[in-house]
Structure 1
Amino acid sequence: MASSAADAPSTASGPLQFAASRRLGRARDALETWLEAERDQLPLWVPVMLGGGITAWLVLPDSGRWIAALLLLGALALFGVAVGRGGRAGRALTIVAVTAAIGLALIWWRAERVAAPVLAHPTVAAFEARVEAVAPLPARGLVRVRLAPLGNVGMPPHVRANIAEKDVPAGLAPGAVIRLRGWFMPPPEAAVPGAYDFARLAWFDRLGATGRAFAPVTLVSPGTSPGSALRARLSAHIQGEVAGGPGAIAAALATGDRGAIGDSDAEAMRRAGLAHLLSISGLHVTAVVGATMLIVLKLLALSPALALRLRLPLIAAGAGAIAAVGYTWLTGAEVPTIRSCVAALLVLLAIAIGREALTLRLVAAGALIVLVALPESLAGPSFQLSFAAVTAIIALHEHPKVRSWFSARGDGAARRLGRELLSLLLTGLVVEIALAPIALYHFHRSGVYGALANIVAIPLTTFVVMPAEALALVLDAAGLGAPFWWVVDHALRLLLWLAHVVADAPGASAALPAMPDDAFGLMVAGGLWIALWRTRWRRLGAVPLAIGAAWALATPAPDLLVTGDGEHLAIATPKGLALLRERAGDYTRMTLAENSGVTEEPLALADLAEARCSRDLCLADHRAGGRTWRIMATRSDNFVDYDELIRACTNADIVVSARGLPRACRPRWLRLDRQTLARTGGVAISLASGRIVTVRRPGAEQPWRDPPTIAPPRHRRQDARNRSNMRKPPPTRVRSIGSQNSADHRTKTEL
């Protein structure tokens, strides 16, 4: 028995087993060798893995999958401990798994911690509230306030309201108590897939309702907020010295108050790739810190006693830190400014302890601090754009070849200037390439000539506008600031001229329809792989980057976009994007156009030959996927004869309605009425492939999707739509479906 068992082939050691073992050993050794070569880069992946856990919570739909992900990550961590055997690979796997699990748990805890009730339905409400924040918007003639309603008034703990400038009571400031009446609604989710999701932002900001106030707004008791009052006075002073668009830009550069910037100027800055100049971020904080350090250092150096006895750079760094914190407080402590302040403090700390200031480890430390404090900021464009830009700049200039190309060589002034301009241009191009996927993902548009525009705009802003504005503000105390305000005015006029010229140039911006989340994720992963590694294996990042870019570019624009309330329908036609309601608001028109990847002004569906519309209904024929689709949509709340409505539904492929339709309304393919859209949210449809993308995912448990609600007293409910639906008038026959302006002479069908 023993002899036969020993001779069994299954227990004999064959050459293939040895070969496999040797290959596995060589692979393990190669992995260890690579990690040893990249040991200085490994800490950079800690915030990336933390962000990976946060992303998993945002992407996975429900608590069951969140728990499963935590268990899986725990198993991976234990596996890394078990197989590590003192090598870097096992330790790296353990740290990656633990960090990702912390990120997932952190944002889950944060989402539960900020939980607050949301307004149940649109309503008119009257109440007293304490003012928490005031944000003037002069360009729109509004003042936006954040309020905390007082007493048991059936409103969420925090609401936001817009007040017309003419209705703003004197003395309105944080801490004041006001009495108002207005129209309020729950924070809206994304209107269509890929659009801005305000509901998520509002949830983490504990904002339960948003709306507008009616006149009059009464001040019950005044409030005081030194920071806010100083910011408002400073902004008003700047705009008093520099009029018009330049004054609005100057106020934004100094205080972060962008409310006075006109829509045309703001759009030009965005299309020209210069919008980053309007946000108080790294450029502004760096200028303030640098100027403070330079002034303090030069003034203290005038005293030989101080220069010989004290470490003046350390004192200057401390003064710069105080200036950074004070400037952040003055400008409202917005998230981008806080991130920039944290980064500046880390740089100053590195200077103080004698370490290299600008490194990727500094960026990683800043990202880690922000993600721990505000994990939800990872999903916002501000976090992604700012850290992507800084990472791209530092990674580029840390590359040995780039460093050797642009290092000082003792050349003449002309060669040195040319090298610096070339360095600036290369940096701008790399930053534009790094930011383009993020801009296209969030805004569906990216500036093409931004690198060229920034070659002029950044030096102009950093070395002319901001120093002149700072000197003007200081000298205004003695009434001597006028010459510097003249410099600020003309420099900003040049900046706005540059923005408008670049924005109006042919092909100034690239538009792209909403890209798949997976494509964006591949591009982000590929970019991080290229930026954070140093050996030749970094080139592998080009593979997911190229796949994601090709996927995004190959994704066709949807044929139909339907908003979550069913009120608006956009159809992509050969002539352009056509809207069901020609009187749709500017925001709705912009949202539908951006998510369709078009830059032209949308058309009215009723004006097209392939559509027949009345005041109440529209029928449109759309060619896609080798066939013609019949689309029917309601345009009003008028009631339609039941039998005729059912007949029209039967003859349509797709029916869209903001109202609830009877069960007997059965189109040939898809029905999107009020009940269906309440479950799906906004919908994007590609008819050729039959692909349907919805805002809401089935079973999603993110708290802002189905939040706890609070309803105001029933007698205050003023929802006109609910009242009209409850009081059903007798059925009326709808007018003929046909636009009087149409050149189509086909027989008009009546319902």
Structure 2
Amino acid sequence: MTQGQEPGVAPGVQPDRVHLHALASVSSLPDIATKQPENRAWRSPLGDFTSTRKRLRAIHWHAELKRAALEEVAFGHALLFVPVFLGLGSLVWFRLPQTPGHLKLALLMCVFGMAAFALRHRPALLRTGMLIAALLTAGMGLAAWETARLQTVVLDTPVTTWVRGTVTARETTDRGYWRYTVAVSQTSEPELKRPPAKVTLLSRSRETPVGIGGGIEGRARLSPPSGAALPGLNDFAFDSYFKGIGAVGYFYGKPQAVSDVEDLDRSGTAAWRADIGETIARWREAVGTRIRGTIGGDAGAIAAALVTAEERAIGRPTIEALRQAGLAHVLAISGLNMVLAAGTFLIGARTLLSLVPGLAHRFPIKKLAAAGALVMVFAYILISGGAVSAVRSWIMISIMLIAMFFDRPSISLRNVALSALIILVITPSAVTGPGFQMSFAATLALVAGYAHWRDRPARDILPKSRSVGPLKAVGGFFAGLLLSSVIGGLSTMIYSAGHFHRLAAYGLIGNVLAMPIISIFVMPFGLLAMLLMPFGLDRYPLLVMGQGLEWMISIARMVSSWGGEVTTGRIPDHAFMLIAAGGVLACLFRTWLAASGLLIIAAGLVVTSTSAVVRPDIVIAEDGRLVAMIRQAEAASNRTKPPDFVFSQWQRALRLKDHRQPQQRPELAIRDAVEPASSGGQAADARKTKPPIDPGAARAVIRRLLADAVPGRFVCVAKQWCAAMAQQGWRIVTVDDARFIGIACEEADIVVTPVRLRFRTCRSGALLLSGHSLRRTGAVEIYGVSLRSVDNTADRADMRVVTAQEHLQRPWAQHRTYDWRTGLFDAGEANE
């Protein structure tokens, strides 16, 4: 038997002698005799046969399990689970309400590590358990270290102030506005006690923008990053914390360019890194401007996004069409873009070098081309913005290209594991985001599918003819494209449903139609344009790239017009974890153990299909301005035009189809009421200057509104208040003018206002959700709980309140408990 043809070992993989000896010893286990044991006492023949069969079955499965485990170890697949358990440890740390200190984590990791070393000669199960515990603890330690290293200051409350700082990055929007990333050096009028170090500010001025590296100042409205729109949804404050962004907002009017901005107090290394970052940001902006100026329209904006990852210039309808057609992944600099760019460069460079007479005989042109591709992908990652998917792709492709220098297999699961390991060590917070999870899920599934196809038993039986006709080559190209689209779509489906609560029903068709265009026209000519751009010869390649993108946009609009988007709603957490874990196991194992992953996926699907979808009866946004009553698939809100950012998330998460607008009753407006201030933070102060209202008239109006309200629909007086009667009999009042809060507390069961009140509860016992309390709790869901009355003769509805923010001690949520008057954090008030 020749080398590389051992039974159960894939060609090209050389396990060590110890593993092969152990594998051989297990495979040569003697057959179990079926001889009956001696009967020392009388036993039933049927019971004897049953016990023997059970014993044989147990021994058989134990031997098979041991044999499969040894084969996995022999192929080095234990390494593949290292990033899995590191990432799981990081996830656990981010979910904990309170975490142990760094010293405790270090001690635990040392204890588990030493225990694993001490048990190296003991049973494998115990040793493996210690190793897993050590990896989980290490993942928690990495997450704790990243969080402590950043120490991002997040703004505690909305404020209008004068901002002065340095522009570190900027990008244009689809409306021609500019969004600046500003390193804040000074605030005034008022001066903030806890100024964020970095903010993003939108300027609606279309005049000449302030350049990167230049000073900027202007009056701006700053707000903390928004939290989750509903409990369990994406927390944008968490993302902003780990991006170093402490506040978001917009300028009032046109910001001014200044030249005498004070330098921040930073070390030489920090200044050097800042200078490099600003230089790269200028390159990105110059490249993006050149591409958009040459191509124009949404096609030019998409072309720039494929190179620089700046997506804000793309029109919202086009982005929505791409999402519904399953082509939104094209916008991200993912493995597809990086592979197409590197592959095009590698093939093109190798072809050109082979045309030089005698060069291929003297030098390894394949390795020379790989070196050039390595430099190219490094330049690509510099101007791409450093998204997780782009970094993962860059690491994987770099490993693949380096493997060519040593004539090693380039596409393998080890490459995926190494890239995940590097990202988790540097930025463990990435494991919580959909970008990391979807990117690695798709790559893992594609690489595992390729490995199974490469190692299939029937491959050696097929004729090894090198002659491939053009039709066969085209058929193979489209077959590979179809298979890749199916595998990639299935592997990311659970993450799309879990994070975005929707699926593209015709995504496979959209990818099959659009991917040939992207592979032939878009990415190759985009790469050629980038290579020719320093010489000013990029116009015609960019035009070809733009035409391909126009075709892709047309395909996306056609597919999206079929209306194939499926809204999945929120998926139970345990079902999501089962399906995700099953997918990982099915891809990482190469033996029959992979079937265990399929069984876990099936269990997750069963849980998903059998879990009842329970919608809340009332949902309240964290700013207190949007309230909706939910009945089946209909939402009745207190706003005629709800803000799309929040309401669209409600629609997908709760599978809402209809919106019931409030009924307006302008004739019931109290005339002496003054329009409230524009900001919730100023409303309490402005209340002192407003004329008092007639309590009797206000009480009569709110009673009239509650009496006239149709159950399940709001009745509103614009800029004053809204009232509704819920299906459970609750009286709900939303208040915009702070002067009406006292009357609302007397007449309602639930009072919601965006005003930051000095008191926390209503004297009447009504549930009060003000701007102050909602800042601590985040978005709120209220469920009706049926309880028996005291005399057990009727049912009554009680309230179960679920909040989005439960753990205010964590660094990315601690800003919600800060009091600028005292300068202290008080997380305990959230639970009062």
Q: TM-score range by the shorter chain?
A: 0.7 to 0.9
Map 1:297-446; keep pairs closer than 5 Å. Answer: 297-400=350-453, 403=456, 413-414=470-471, 417-446=474-503
Alpha-carbon shift at residue 71 of structure 1 (Å): 7.7
Verify: 1:198 aligned to 2:198, yes or no: no
Aligned partners of 1:222 and 1:425: how far apart in 2?
58
Aligned to 1:682: 779
Q: Distance in 2 between matches of 1:357 and 1:468?
A: 25
Cα deviations across residues 175-219 of structure 1 (Å, max 9, x unaligned)?
Answer: 212222211122222232133311111212222222111223221
Deviation at 1:522, TM superposition (A): 2.0
What is aligned with 2:88? 52
TM-score (norm 1): 0.82
Equivalent residue number for residue 172 of structure 1: 211
SS at match of 1:469: helix
Q: 1:620 maps to which residue?
A: 724
CA contact (8 A) 2:196 2:247 kept: no
Confirm or deny that 1:524 pairs with 2:591.
no
Give yes or no for contact 2:187–2:195 (8 Å, CA) kept in 1. Answer: no
Give the structure 2 partner of residue 595 of structure 1: 653
Residue identity in the other structure for 2:622 = G
Instruction: Measure the CA separation in 1 of the matches of 2:307 and 2:225.
Output: 31
CA 1:23–1:272: 2 relative to 1, 3 Å: closer
Task: Say if 1:156 and 1:710, in contact at 8 Å, map to a contact too.
Answer: no
Cα gap change, 1:90 to 1:352, in 2 (>3 Å)? farther
Aligned partners of 2:101 and 2:566: how far apart in 1? Answer: 37
Deviations 1:337-378, CA, capped at 9 Å, x for gaps:
222111111111111111111111110111000110110000
Task: Kindly indicate whether structure 1 or structure 2 has the higher relative contact order, using CA contacts under 8 Å at least 6 residues apart.
Answer: 1
Distance 2:105 2:614 in 1: 32
Cα distance in 2 for residues equivalent to 1:346 and 1:315: 15
Structure 2 CA distance for aligned equivalents of residues 347 and 435 of structure 1: 23
Tell me whether 1:630 sits opposite 2:730 in the alignment. yes
Q: 1:33 aligns with which of 62, 67, 81?
A: 67
Q: SS at 1:63's partner residue?
A: coil
1:133 aligns with 2:165: no
Deviates more, 1:244-253 or 1:547-556: 547-556
Q: Deviation string for 1:614-663 (max 9, x for gaps)?
A: 3244443444xxxx342403141242384x534423xx4x4444355643
Q: Deviations over 1:206-257 (max 9, x none)?
A: 2222211122322123998443333223222222222212222222223322
In structure 2, the partner of 1:124 is: 160
- Give the distance between the partners of 1:385 and 1:218, measured in 2 at CA: 41
SS at match of 2:312: coil
Instruction: From the superposition, tell whether residues 479 and 147 of structure 1 become closer, same or farther in structure 2 (CA, over 3 Å).
Output: closer
DSSP-derived class of the 2:814 partner? coil
- Aligned AA for 1:677? L
Distance 1:236 1:547, change over 3 A: same
Question: In the aligned structure 2, how far is the partner of 1:157 from the partner of 1:647?
Answer: 40
1:560, 1:470 → 2: CA distance?
Answer: 51
More moved, 508-517 vs 224-233: 224-233
CA contact (8 A) 1:118 1:710 kept: no
1:191 maps to amino acid: A
Unaligned stretches of 5+ residues in structure 2: 1-52, 262-274, 665-708, 787-798, 823-832
Determine the structure 1 residue equivalent to 2:48: none
Q: Distance in 1 between matches of 2:455 and 2:406?
A: 27
Q: How far apart, CA to CA, are the structure 1 residues paired with 2:423 and 2:286?
A: 30
Among 813, 820, 825, the alignment partner of 1:705 is 813
Paired letter, 1:163: L
- Structure 2 SS opposite 1:259: coil
Residue 121 (structure 2) pairs with residue 103 (structure 1) = no
Q: CA deviation at 1:469?
A: 3.4
1: CA distance between counterparts of 2:817 and 2:359? 63
Contact 2:633 2:658 in 1 (8 A): no
Cα distance in structure 2, aligned partners of 1:560 and 1:582: 17
Quick check: 2:638–2:716 contact (8 Å CA) kept in 1? no
Say if 2:602 is the partner of 1:546: yes
Q: Residues of 2 paired with 1:61 and 1:248: CA distance?
A: 42
Report 1:241-280 matches (<5 A). 241-280=294-333
- Which amino acid letter does the alignment assign opposite residue 565 of structure 1? D
Q: 3-state DSSP class of the match of 2:201? A: strand
Contact 1:557 1:596 in 2 (8 A): yes
Unaligned regions of 5+ residues in structure 1, if any?
Answer: 1-18, 715-751
For the structure 1 residues 289 and 80, does the alpha-carbon distance in structure 2 shift closer, same or farther, using more than 3 Å as the test? same
1:670-749 matches, cutoff 5 A = 672-674=769-771, 676-687=773-784, 692-697=801-806, 699=807, 701-707=809-815
Q: How does 1:533-612 map to 2 (within 5 A)?
A: 533-553=589-609, 554=611, 555-574=613-632, 576-598=634-656, 600=657, 602-606=659-663, 609-610=710-711, 611-612=713-714
Query: Corresponding residue for 2:830?
Result: none
Task: State the match for 2:97 in structure 1.
Answer: 61
After TM superposition, the structure 1 stretch with the greater mean CA deviation from structure 2, 373-382 or 239-248, is: 239-248
Seen in structure 2, the aligned counterparts of structure 1 residues 470 and 526 have a Cα distance that, compared at 3 Å, is: closer
Provide the rounded CA distance (Å) in 2 between the counterparts of 1:167 and 1:139.
9
State whether residues 163 and 184 of structure 2, in contact with CA within 8 Å, keep that contact through their aligned partners in structure 1.
Answer: no
Letter in 2 for 1:658: P
Assess, with a 3 A threshold, how the Cα gap between structure 1 residues 544 and 567 changes in structure 2: closer, same or farther. farther
The answer as to whether partners of 1:395 and 1:532 remain within 8 angstroms in 2 is yes
Partner residue, 1:728: none
Give the letter for the 1:186 counterpart.
Answer: P
CA contact (8 A) 2:216 2:257 kept: yes
1:186 alignment partner in structure 2? 224
Deviation (angstroms), 1:277: 0.7
SS in 2 for 1:232: helix
**Structure 1 residues 74 and 437, CA gap change in structure 2 (3 angstroms):** farther
Is the contact between residue 618 and residue 782 of structure 2 (CA under 8 Å) also seen in structure 1? yes
Q: How far apart in 2 are the matches of 1:539 and 1:236?
A: 50
Which secondary structure does the structure 2 equivalent of 1:219 belong to? Answer: strand
Q: How many residues align?
A: 684
Q: CA deviation at 1:88?
A: 3.7
Candidates 641, 645, 661, aligned match of 2:744 = 645
Q: Which residue of 2 is the match for residue 467 of structure 1?
A: 524
Structure 1 residues 574, 56: closer, same or farther in 2, change over 3 A?
closer
Distance 1:88 1:311, change over 3 A: farther
CA contact (8 A) 1:156 1:209 kept: no
Q: For residues 440-459 of structure 1, what are the structure 2 equivalents within 5 Å?
A: 440-459=497-516
Distance change >3 Å, CA 53–CA 682, structure 1 → 2 = same
**Range moving further from structure 2, 528-537 or 88-97:** 88-97
Question: Take 1:257 and 1:558, find their aligned partners in 2: how far apart are those partners?
Answer: 37
The equivalences for 1:495-510 within 5 A come to 495-506=552-563, 508-510=564-566
Change (3 A) 1:20 1:664: farther
Seq. identity, %: 27
Deviates further, 67-76 or 469-478: 67-76
- Following the alignment from structure 2 to structure 1, what is the Cα–Cα distance between the partners of residues 545 and 710? 53
What is the distance in 2 between the residues matched to 1:391 and 1:453? 22
Residues 578 and 269 of structure 1, relative CA distance in 2, 3 Å threshold: same
Aligned to 1:115: 151
**8 A contact 1:522–1:544 mirrored in 2:** yes
DSSP 3-state at the match of 2:367: helix
Retained in 2: the 8 A contact 1:525–1:541?
yes
**d(CA) in 1 for partners of 2:280 and 2:115?**
52
Contact 2:615 / 2:632 at 8 angstroms: preserved in 1? no
